């Protein structure tokens, strides 16, 4: 299963990130996972939230460019080497990871990792074939 | 009733003047030029003084070529004689005043007699007819009403044509979109940058504006690339219209359905092309500054007015059959050029570069700075959902491609900054694209 991620374009200036966070707080939007990729002049904030469409809309109304992207959320055992099993499965199948990051919270004994693939269908097959738990929806405890 | 949606059916009896044989037109022009010079000389002190200084009298104008002997009129002359110094009629004969915003100092004022209003109406009717607009069309007039000539010029022209005019004026995008949909507007008049803004909003809200078929775009320079984009994204044919308050307002010239330059209404406005540096009249076909002389205006005749608009006069016959000469689309003004590190740069060049990089809508700003005596140019480009990617690699590629395209077109390196939509002010009138922060 895929999970919808909201990506937001950010200028690299002081206070830019907090303005996005304030918009989300004002609308009672809870962030379940986030990552910030940054270059010298700009950055991309990636978020996993409950209602991506509403999130995209409120950000747009506040003057931000935001987009929805399909990503894959998997559960990996929260122990040394836990992530490696998943990455090996991907490598065996020749699947590139565009980017990945971990969720803010754990689910029981597991960590949750968000993956962005170009070939999402092949990636899902490879993960399931290797017995990796792919989350249907993003609902950490 | 014939098919309203057939652009070819647009014809108005007043369009007949568009097809005058050239010798007949020249005869009319000379007769009108002589009356205009006599009027200006006898009624306006400013013109009389300027001519007397050069030892000239109205009788010295024996041919159209003699016009080149007369001095130019520039915008400063209108400011210096503010408010009524260039009027050639007593106030009893003047029925309308318009004025500029005066962003660079004192405003300028222009006046019209009833006869002038009739001429203005006539040229606007001829302009609408050449776009294929006709009776039965619903014109959403989003040019500003008020002191600015755009709104009322298009308004009176549209009504005289027999079309339905919605005097919505500029701004208020939500209402524009609502009426566009509810009234089924078939024609829109606005600045091209505001139209792009409208289309963006209408598409977001999935508004159907498929009944709209003609866009009348003027009041600011735009490029052919921008037209191609508009015509690709929508079913609208975009036409360029030209005019300036100092001469009459919109309706000095307009494109026809060939979209190959703007026909000048030469029976009312006489064009010359000059070298902006020397003031010399340039041979036909050369690019230079457009200079206009009014041939029928009564309240405020204008002799050799320097428009600051850079263009070329095209004498070759147009496929539409009009005998009126054309000017090439005005993409720049001789005064909105800026010089950076010794290189002349026009905002239109920046636009060309941005459009070359696929998917970039032209919301941008140019910022000029100077540090330690060195000039720098920064082009801020808005990141729209169309060009945004969640992948850093794609964003870096976009950033790099924009830089390359700019360097190729400008010949100098420009810093490209990708900005959030809220950073750039949206234009609801003339777009202000250049911010010069250099202090000398």
B50: left (phi over 0), alpha (psi -120 to 50) or beta: alpha
Nearest-CB residue to A65 (from B391, B417, B420): B420
Taking the alpha carbons at both ends of chain B, their separation in whole angstroms is: 65
Backbone phi, psi, residue B148, to 5°: -65, 140
When the pLDDT of each residue in chain B is averaged and rounded to a whole number, the result is 89
Q: What is the largest CA-CA distance in chain A?
A: 45
Nearest CA distance, A30 vs chain B (angstrom) = 20
Chain A interface includes B358 (CB < 8 A): no
Once rounded to an integer, what is the mean pLDDT over residues B308-319?
94
CB contact under 8 A, A116 and B422: no
Give me the pLDDT at residue A20, please: 92
Min mean pLDDT across A81-85, B53-57, B65-69, B156-160 is at A81-85
Q: Do B395 and A63 touch (CB under 8 A)?
A: no
Task: Report d(CA A2, CA A48) in Å as an integer.
Answer: 12
- State the span(s) of chain B assigned CATH 3.30.300.30: 338-436
Query: Quick one: tokens of B350?
Result: 């920046």
Burial class (CB in 10 A: 0-12, 13-18, 19+), B62: exposed
Query: Does the distance separating the beta carbons of A10 and B391 come in below 8 Å?
Result: no
E-strand ranges in chain A read 3-11, 31-38, 42-49, 66-77, 97-102, 110-117, 133-134
- What chain A holds in terms of domains, given with CATH numbers, is 3-69 (3.30.2130.10), 71-134 (3.30.70.260)
Q: Can you tell me whether residue B96 is helix, strand or coil?
A: strand
Could you tell me which of B270, B195, B420 has the C-alpha nearest to residue A15? B420
CA B351, CA B397: separation in Å to the nearest integer?
Answer: 19
Q: Which residues of B touch A119 (CB under 8 A)?
A: none
The percent of residues above 70 in pLDDT, for chain A, comes to: 94
Q: How far apart are CA B36 and CA B299, in angstroms?
A: 11
On whether the CB atoms of residues B41 and B47 are closer than 8 A, the answer is yes
**Contact check, Cβ <8 Å, B388/A41:** no
What is the per-residue pLDDT across B251-280, written as a single tens digit (0 to 9) for each?
A: 999 999 999 999 999 999 999 999 887 899
Q: What is the pLDDT of residues A4-57, one digit of tens each?
A: 899 999 988 878 889 999 999 999 998 889 999 988 889 999 999 988 999 999
What is the distance between the alpha carbons of residues B412 and B366, in angstroms, rounded to a whole number? 14
Q: What are phi and psi of B25, to 5 degrees?
A: -65, -45
**Per-residue b or e along B265-303, where b marks 16 or more CB atoms closer than 10 Å to that residue's CB:** bbbbbbbbbbebeeeebbeeeeebbbbbbbbbbbbbbbb
- How many interface pairs between A and B have CB atoms less than 8 angstroms apart? 54
User: A5 touching B, CB under 8 A?
Assistant: yes
Superfamily grouping for domain B7-22+110-333: ANL, N-terminal domain (3.40.50.12780)
3-state helix, strand, coil in chain A (%, to 5): 30, 40, 30
Q: Which residues of B touch A37 (CB under 8 A)?
A: 392
User: With an 8 Å Cβ cutoff, is B381 touching chain A?
Assistant: no
Contacts of B94 (CB under 8 A, 6+ apart): B87, B111, B112, B113, B299
State the residue for tokens 């750039």.
B424
Angle CA A79–A83–A85, to nearest 5 = 105
Question: Does B417 lie at the interface with A, CB-CB under 8 angstroms?
Answer: yes
A39 touches chain B (CB under 8 A): yes
Residues of A in contact with B383 (CB under 8 A): 9, 42, 65
State the smallest CA–CA distance between residue A62 and chain B in angstroms. Answer: 8
This complex has an ipTM of 0.84
Q: How far apart, in Å, are the Cα atoms of A138 and each of A5, A32, A98, A128, B288?
A: 10, 8, 20, 17, 64
The model's pLDDT over A107-119, given as tens digits with 9 standing for 90+, comes to 678 888 999 998 8
Spatial distance between the Cα atoms of B116 and B97, rounded to a whole number of angstroms: 11
Residue ranges of the alpha helices (H) in B7-113? Answer: 22-43, 45-53, 75-80
**Which is more confidently placed, B426 or B37?**
B37
Q: Which of B41-50, B218-227, B357-366, B383-392 has the highest mean pLDDT?
A: B41-50
Residue A99 has pLDDT above 90, yes or no: yes
pLDDT at residue B194 in the model? 84
* pLDDT at position B58: 96
Q: Whose CA is closest to B13, among B126, B104, B98? A: B126
Candidate ranges A126-140, B20-34, B343-357, B426-440; pick with highest mean pLDDT: B20-34
Lowest mean pLDDT, pick from A59-68, B8-17, B66-75: B8-17
Q: Which residues pair with A20 in a beta bridge?
A: none
The predicted-structure confidence for B50-89, as pLDDT tens digits, reads as follows 999 999 999 999 999 999 999 999 988 998 899 999 999 9
Q: Does A65 touch chain B (CB under 8 A)?
A: yes
Annotate B42-57 with three-state secondary structure: HHCHHHHHHHHHCCCC
Strand partners, B73: B305
Give the whole-angstrom CA distance, residue B33 versus residue B425.
44
The CA distance from B379 to the nearest CA of chain A, in Å, is 13
Nearest to B136 by CA among B186, B75, B191, B95: B186
What is the rounded distance in angstroms from the CA atom of residue B145 to the CA atom of residue B173? 16
CB contact under 8 A, B383 and A10: no
**Nearest chain A residue (CA) to B387:** A65
Contacts of B395 in chain A (CB under 8 A): 9, 39, 42, 44
Put simply, the answer to whether B391 touches A98 (Cβ < 8 Å) is: yes
Whether A10 contacts chain B with CB within 8 A:
yes
pLDDT of B5 > 50? The answer is no
- Cβ of A10 within 8 Å of Cβ of B420? The answer is yes
Q: What Å distances lie between residue B101 and A131, B107, B430, CA to CA?
A: 71, 6, 11
State how far residue A110 is from chain B, nearest Cα, in angstroms: 26
CATH 3.30.300.30 holds for B338-436: yes
Q: Which residues from chain A sit within 8 angstroms of residue B423, using beta carbons? A: 11
Segment among A44-58, B302-316, B327-341, B390-404 with least mean pLDDT: B327-341
Contacts of B421 in chain A (CB under 8 A): 63-65
Alpha-carbon span B52 to B103, nearest angstrom: 33
């Amino acid at each position: 299963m895929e999970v919808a991620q909201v990506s937001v374009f950010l200028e690299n200036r002081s206070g830019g990130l907090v303005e996005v966070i304030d918009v989300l707080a004002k609308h009672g939007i809870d962030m379940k996972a986030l990552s910030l990729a940054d270059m010298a002049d700009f950055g991309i904030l990636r978020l996993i939230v409950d209602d991506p469409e509403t999130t995209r809309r409120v950000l747009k109304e506040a003057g931000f460019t935001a987009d929805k992207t399909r990503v894959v959320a998997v559960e990996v055992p929260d122990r040394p080497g836990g992530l490696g099993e998943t990455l090996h499965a991907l490598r065996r199948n020749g699947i590139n990871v565009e980017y990945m990051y971990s969720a803010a919270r754990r689910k029981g004994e597991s960590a949750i990792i968000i993956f962005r693939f170009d070939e999402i269908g092949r990636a899902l097959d490879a993960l399931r074939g290797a017995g990796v738990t792919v989350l249907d929806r993003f609902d950490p405890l | 009733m014939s098919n309203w949606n057939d652009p070819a059916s647009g014809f108005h009896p007043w369009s007949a003047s568009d097809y005058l044989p050239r010798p007949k037109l020249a005869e009319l022009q000379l007769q009108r030029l002589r009356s205009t010079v006599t009027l200006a000389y006898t009624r306006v002190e400013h013109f009389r003084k300027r001519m007397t200084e050069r030892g000239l009298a109205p009788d010295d104008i024996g041919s159209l070529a003699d016009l080149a002997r007369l001095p130019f009129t520039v915008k400063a002359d209108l400011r210096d004689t503010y408010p009524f110094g260039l009027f050639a009629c007593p106030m009893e004969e003047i029925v309308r005043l318009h004025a500029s915003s005066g962003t660079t100092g004192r405003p300028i004022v222009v006046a019209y007699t009833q006869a002038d209003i009739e001429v203005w109406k006539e040229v606007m009717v001829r302009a609408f007819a050449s776009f294929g607009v006709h009776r039965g069309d619903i014109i959403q007039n989003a040019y500003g009403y008020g002191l600015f000539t755009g709104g009322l010029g298009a308004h009176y022209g549209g009504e005289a044509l027999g079309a339905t005019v919605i005097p919505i004026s500029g701004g208020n995008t939500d209402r524009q979109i609502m009426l566009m949909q509810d009234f089924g507007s078939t024609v829109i008049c606005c600045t091209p940058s505001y139209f792009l803004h409208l289309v963006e909003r209408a598409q977001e809200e999935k508004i159907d504006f498929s009944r709209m078929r003609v866009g009348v775009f003027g009041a600011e320079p735009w490029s052919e690339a921008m037209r191609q984009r508009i015509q690709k994204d929508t079913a609208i044919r975009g036409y360029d219209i030209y005019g300036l308050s100092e001469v009459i307002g919109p309706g000095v010239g307009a494109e026809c359905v060939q979209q190959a330059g703007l026909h000048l209404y030469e029976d009312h406005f006489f064009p010359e092309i000059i070298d902006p540096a020397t003031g010399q009249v340039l041979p036909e076909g050369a690019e230079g500054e457009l200079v206009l002389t009014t041939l029928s205006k009564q309240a405020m005749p204008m002799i050799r007015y320097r428009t600051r608009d850079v263009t070329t006069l095209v004498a070759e016959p147009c496929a539409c059959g009009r005998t009126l000469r054309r000017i090439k689309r005005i993409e720049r003004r001789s005064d909105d050029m800026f010089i950076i590190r010794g290189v002349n740069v026009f905002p239109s060049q920046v636009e060309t570069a941005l459009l070359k990089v696929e998917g970039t809508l032209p919301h941008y700003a140019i910022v000029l700075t100077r540090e330690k005596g060195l000039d720098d140019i920064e082009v801020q480009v808005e990141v729209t959902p169309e060009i945004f990617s969640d992948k850093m690699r794609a964003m870096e590629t976009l950033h790099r491609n924009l830089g390359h395209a700019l360097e190729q077109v400008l010949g100098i390196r420009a810093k490209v900054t990708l900005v959030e939509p809220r950073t750039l002010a949206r234009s609801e009138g003339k777009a202000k694209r250049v911010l010069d922060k250099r202090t000398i």
